[in-house]
Amino acid sequence: MFSLENITTSIHLWLNETFNPTIALLSEFLLVGLCAITLFAMLGLILVFMERKVSAYMQIRLGPNRVGPKGIFQTLADTLKLVLKEGLTPDGADKFLFNLAPFVVMIAAMLILAPIAFAKNFQIWDINIGVLYVSAVSSISVIGILMAGWSSNNKYSLLGAMRSGAQIVSYELSAGFAIISIVVLTGSLQISEIIASQQNGWWVFKGHIPVLISFVIFLVAVTAETNRAPFDLAEAESELTAGFHTEYSGMKFALFFLAEYINIFIACAIGATLFLGGWMPFHIGNWEAFNHIMDFIPSSLWFFGKTFFLIFVMMWFRWTFPRLRVDQLLNLEWKYLLPISMFNLLLITLTAIMGWHF
């Protein structure tokens, strides 16, 4: 059966048999970096194409259909256009921070990949504080956005950056409470242990209504954190031209554009891991025959299937709801989501102490 674990084990053994331990380790670091960059590039192409096709389907139209069969090479053509465009820097901009900002956003996204388990025994770093690590590193991206807005010397960029800062800091609280609810139930911050705790059922099913509420709050909060519509006030075209990346062009703009879709993937991957079992197959109690059939599906397919399902839900949000005003956006968090999250966490804590979950 196809297994990513077997591939990585074979590469590890071959490198250690062929080279000395130091060179083998450095080679593994290099391979991991190349794989991460390749994954980013592929996800950018796939998710942009998916976004266009999903929006077309929602609006009863075709979407990209000229470049390649069914328009599958449209994103490649757009990438080529961005690569060939000249990257301009405004005269009044802080050139160092202006050029650094896109890389800060991309580096933050790349760092978050480390503890994510893409398949059984297939993750870069199984750190024992994986959930805390993800929550901490994901906060760095807002620094890149604020840096881009301020250094551009453009009032629209600055407004977009300030909106984004307020939005991300606010919705991180609700997302954090949703994540803590799973930590309370599992008693661990380690990603592999959280996945293992769902062997007899995913938390969204066996955690009763409080976990379902946490799951919905998590989806809403990460949609806001990734600056996705209907929470895309940082890039509100009708008000701020393009928001914090108004002055960017060429590859620097492409990095911001790519980082948005990578962050969507990462947010959905974390949601799939915490609430939907990650790479764990769908098992039902003592149904041995059914569970055995589910085990035949490769763990990587389970992970990517769940993640892309959540990505589709986020895209569904975008093409269903109108954009909120800034005051509505912050009211939703501080007056509704945050109090509900705090009360819900108390219910989940009580559920964990009393052992009421399945």
pLDDT in tens, the chain (358 residues): 556 777 888 888 888 888 888 898 899 889 988 988 899 889 989 999 999 999 999 888 988 888 888 888 998 998 898 888 888 888 888 889 998 999 999 898 889 988 999 988 888 888 889 899 998 898 888 888 889 888 988 888 888 888 888 888 889 899 999 999 999 999 889 999 999 888 888 888 887 889 999 999 999 999 988 888 788 776 666 666 777 888 888 888 888 888 889 999 999 999 999 999 889 888 877 778 888 888 888 888 999 999 999 999 999 988 888 888 888 888 999 999 999 999 999 999 998 888 776 6
Residue 118 half-sphere exposure, CB side, CA atoms within 13 Å? 16
In this structure, are residues 299 and 342 in contact, taking their beta carbons and an 8 Å threshold? no
| C-alpha–C-alpha distance, residues 302 and 227, integer Å | 27
Q: What is the pLDDT of residue 195?
A: 92
Alpha-helix runs per DSSP H in 85-154: 95-112, 130-138, 141-151
Alpha-helix runs per DSSP H in the chain: 4-18, 21-58, 74-84, 95-112, 130-138, 141-151, 155-186, 191-196, 203-206, 208-225, 237-240, 250-275, 288-295, 299-318, 326-331, 338-354
In this structure, are residues 299 and 204 in contact, taking their beta carbons and an 8 Å threshold? no
Domain spans of the chain, in order of start: 85-354
User: Tokens for 46?
Assistant: 């796939």
| C-alpha–C-alpha distance, residues 317 and 224, integer Å | 11
3-state secondary structure of 14: helix
> How crowded is residue 328: how many other Cβ atoms within 10 Å of its Cβ?
12
* Maximum C-alpha span of the chain: 68
Tell me the backbone φ, ψ of residue 122, rounded to 5 degrees: -135, 85
Tally the residues of the chain: 358
In this structure, are residues 322 and 229 in contact, taking their beta carbons and an 8 Å threshold? no
In this structure, are residues 217 and 210 in contact, taking their beta carbons and an 8 Å threshold? no
pTM (two decimals):
0.91
Closest CA to 196 of 208, 210, 182: 182
3-state secondary structure of 119: strand
User: Tokens for 124?
Assistant: 């870069």
User: Tokens for 305?
Assistant: 């299937």
Which segments within the chain are labelled E, that is strand? none
Q: Specify the residue for token string 């929006």.
A: 55
> How crowded is residue 66: how many other Cβ atoms within 10 Å of its Cβ?
10
- Which amino acid type is present at position 292? H
Closest CA to 258 of 95, 87, 43: 43
Q: What is the pLDDT of residue 238?
A: 66
Q: What is the pLDDT of residue 158?
A: 86
| C-alpha–C-alpha distance, residues 188 and 204, integer Å | 17
3-state secondary structure of 122: strand
Q: What is the pLDDT of residue 141?
A: 85
Closest CA to 109 of 79, 135, 132, 141: 141
